[in-house]
Amino acid sequence: MVSRILVPMDDSDHSVEALAYALDSFPEADVTVLHVVGVPSSMFGEATDLALADDIDEAAAERAEPAFERARAAAAERGREIDTVVGIGHPARNIINRAGDYDTVVIGAHGADRRRMTRRFLVGNVAETVARRSPVPVTIVR
């Protein structure tokens, strides 16, 4: 029986679809939405503001809020509540490191930056990496 589900979310429609799938398919399960903010470094454009922030955790939480708002709205449409957690670092690694605390991971097939070929070559496909390395079953939602 699945009682705890981890749903990694970014700003993509696929991640919202993954959350909807998890909520609809497992109505009794506790669902935790994870948003991973990139490693703070001046070398990776989007993470530059994290590297310069006085409080990295607070800046990461701010960055995660739009994804969490979408997640809460999707859950509310179904009369459900979710937990949220912010990760900092490489998305696939962060998801895999947390996966063991859950019964399953439900993840969108493509992230928000799927069109950025340079980024894809640098970090690989997050969903594929999670599916190959997760210690628990993974469902990839298209």
Predicted local distance difference test score (pLDDT) of residue 59 = 86
Query: With bands split at pLDDT 50, 70 and 90, how would you rate the model's confidence at 120?
Result: very low
127 pLDDT higher than 80: yes
CATH class of 4-141: alpha beta
What are the residue ranges spanned by the domains of the chain? Answer: 4-141
1 pLDDT higher than 80: yes
φ, ψ of residue 108 to 5 degrees: the values are: -70, 150
Query: With bands split at pLDDT 50, 70 and 90, how would you rate the model's confidence at 11?
Result: confident
pTM of the entire predicted model: 0.85
- The whole-number average pLDDT for the span 58-79 is 95
Task: Tell me the two tokens of residue 4.
Answer: 């705890």
Query: With bands split at pLDDT 50, 70 and 90, how would you rate the model's confidence at 135?
Result: very high
Distance CA 28, CA 92 (A): 26
Q: Which residues pair with 33 in a beta bridge?
A: 7, 84
